[in-house]
Amino acid sequence: MNMANASKHTVKKHALIYKMLGNPKRLEILYRLCEGECSLKELEEMLGARKTNAVQHLGLMRLAGIVRVRYLNNQALYSIIDPRIVAHRKMLELLDL
């Protein structure tokens, strides 16, 4: 995509995604989900956060189109919608930032 000709809609969507990824807790969630689907309980334990806090972060990430949830036996399981979202991590590692 030629970014000089990017639509306002595209720019707003990209800004929302960067905003979501600008939070350390949401990055932790994203990096964990890179390894595969994860339950809400596992994410809570990993973050050392209360359920309400983890749910709030995951809800924002769902609204941004980064993660999805499915339910299995009353258990919420989260996963990344499109694994290409983690390309920025590799870029930052290459830049050694």
**CA–CA dist 9, 15 (Å, integer):** 10
> Would you give the distance in Å from CA 90 to the centre of its chain?
15
Given pLDDT bands bounded at 50, 70 and 90, which one contains residue 3? low
Helical spans, DSSP H, in 5-84: 8-21, 24-33, 40-47, 51-63
**CA–CA dist 54, 44 (Å, integer):** 6
Domains of the chain: 8-95 (1.10.10.10)
* Each residue's pLDDT tens digit, 39-51: 999 999 988 878 8
User: How high is the pLDDT of residue 12?
Assistant: 86
Given pLDDT bands bounded at 50, 70 and 90, which one contains residue 1? low
> Which two tokens mark 92?
């930052």
User: How high is the pLDDT of residue 8?
Assistant: 87
* Each residue's pLDDT tens digit, 44-86: 998 887 888 899 999 999 988 899 999 999 999 999 998 888 7
Residue 2 has pLDDT above 60, yes or no: no
